[in-house]
Every structure is written in structure tokens, then in C-alpha cells.
Amino acid sequence: PPTTWRCKSALNTSNGAQKRTPHIDVERPRAQKAIPMASERVERIAVIGAGQMGSGIAQTCATAGYTVALCDLDEARAQAARSRIEAALEKATARGKLSVQAASEALARLQATNLPQALASADLVIEAVTEDPELKQRLFREIDAQLPPGALIASNTSSISITQLAACTHRPEQVIGLHFMNPVPIMKLVEIVLGERTSEETHQRMQLLVQQLGKTAVVSKDRPGFIVNRVLIPLLNEACLTLQEGVASAEDIDAAVRLGLAHPMGPLELADLIGLDTVLAITEVMRTGLHSDKYQAPALLKEKVDAGHLGRKTGEGFYRYDERGTKLGNN
């Protein structure tokens, strides 16, 4: 049943700048009405955010047979993302990973559009915008106001509280976390994150969705960083500190982890792939949420973000990259 929630903000002075972080007050009304659920199988998915993760999620859902609306605040960006997805599908057919017919049908199911059109008939919204709590909360309020009553809302957040995001809606039982891994079409894992009020029906429907996408689900309680980033962020931070202290070069740090720990990528390469701004945002959410300096961002990471050296997407991070994202060397 719906509950009235108010989202407030409190000052956070991390990184030397005053920012507002959410604080939740709860008011439980006496009269409660049940919100109807949509049909058992999700058919139409709206993906909000046409960046690297949103594009990958949209491509994966369309390839799996879902009708997908991909949208962004900048509709031209959504159109550009659709073009990138078309190129990715063509590459998959050239490599024999996908038939020409399957790629054509997937593209036909994928539409780049604006937010109102995307929400009008969606059974499920997957939010994949920048890892910013206030931005996500504003978007959740807007989604909730425009989405059909029975539809579900999922966030691809890698660290932000699902319970806090759900509190900005009148459907907290229908809000859940779906944290896909990057690159989405290749990586098999999806973290399902259960908010405090996520219903078991919502949980089971998302388990079915993940299975139909050909991926494997793990379930996490709603704690900062969930499972993957709870383990990963200390590794990335320590690799950055090892480089910052001059212990070894970026290449040797990454080679040591690849060959000595059997990781497919080194931690600095991985940070560049994720985006150093995203890594920094996750560290801040986890440091404040878990009250632990273990997640304190190294100075070198902050310096690179301040300089606009965000990794592959800007052509420069711990390494330099060409326009296709091929690594050229260390930075």
C-alpha cells in the first residue's frame, strides 16, 4: 500500500564542497489503498539515461525480445546512443554472435524517444543516469508521477540506497535495484537489490526478467555498495594509492593483479572503463553511508576527476585512449 514520504536534504561537506544528501521523514496515512500490479510478464521497458550503461541495458533488453524505449534529457543523445547500438549489433553479426535477422528485429524493437513518451506505456522503467543521489531522487519523483500505476521502477545504481529512491515515490513496493555490470551485453551478473519495502512479487518478477535476459542474479540487502562495489572499491582505491605512492607503474600494478590474482582486467584499467568520476561518486556514497575511511578516495583519483581525465570516455585517465577506446599507454 502507498505511504506518504518526504525527501529532505542534509549538508555533506566531503571534498571540501557543501552538497546536500537525502534524509527521509516518513508519514504513514491511516487509510491505505493497494496499488494494482501490471501483468506478470514485463513486455515494454523504458531505459532512462543514454550513456554507456543505459545503452548497454537497452541493447540487452531489445536483443532478448523486449520492446524498449531509450530516452535521455537530451533526445539527440538518445538518438546517438541508438546509432551506437546499431553499430554494436552489426559487429555482433559480423563476429557470428548474433544472426542478421535477430539483430534487425532487436533494432526494430528499440526506439529513442523523450521521457513522457517512454513512460506512457512502460511496464518497467530502468533508471541509468549519473550516480548522483539528488538527481536520481528528482527523476524518481518525475517517473512516479507519469508512470502507469501498476508499473515497476528499477535503478541501475551501484551504491545509492534503493529505499531512499523508493521513498520519493508513491509505489515503494514496486521499486527495486537492478545493478548491471559493464559492459552490459557481455557481463553475466545482475545484482538485485531489495529496498526495505520492495514486495516479494516485484522481486520475483525481476528474477524472471534477469533470467530471460540470459543473466545470473544475486540478491543483496540495501546497503551502500551492495555486494560488488563493497568488495571492489577498496581494491580500486588501494591500486590508486599504490600508484600515487610510487610503489609501481600503472602497467605493473595492473599486470600484477591480472596475472597474480587471475583477474581479467587490472584495477586501474577497470577504473578507466567504469569512469573515474563514477568511481569517485561511489567512494563518497560508501564512505558516508558506511562511516568508514576504508572507502576514502585517494588524492590522485580526485585530481584526475578535477582535471577532467575520466578514463576511456574522455580519452585519458590512468591511461590514454584513442577515439575507439583502444589503450595507447599510461598517462
Measured CA to CA, the distance from residue 3 to residue 27 in angstroms comes to 7
Query: In the structure grid, which three cell numbers stand for residue 54, read together?
Result: 543505459
Whether 265 and 183 have beta carbons less than 8 Å apart is answered as no
DSSP state of 296: P
Residues noted as catalytic: 158, 179, 191, 229
CA gyration radius, the chain: 20
Dihedral through CA 246, CA 238, CA 21, CA 118, nearest 10?
110
Nearest to 128 by CA among 220, 60, 64, 50: 50
Query: Cis omega (within 30 of 0) on the bond before 22?
Result: no
DSSP state of 96: T
Whether 112 and 50 have beta carbons less than 8 Å apart is answered as yes
Whether 240 and 271 have beta carbons less than 8 Å apart is answered as yes
If 0-12 CB within 10 Å is exposed, 13-18 middle and 19+ buried, where does residue 289 land?
middle
Query: In the structure grid, which three cell numbers stand for residue 182, read together?
Result: 559493464
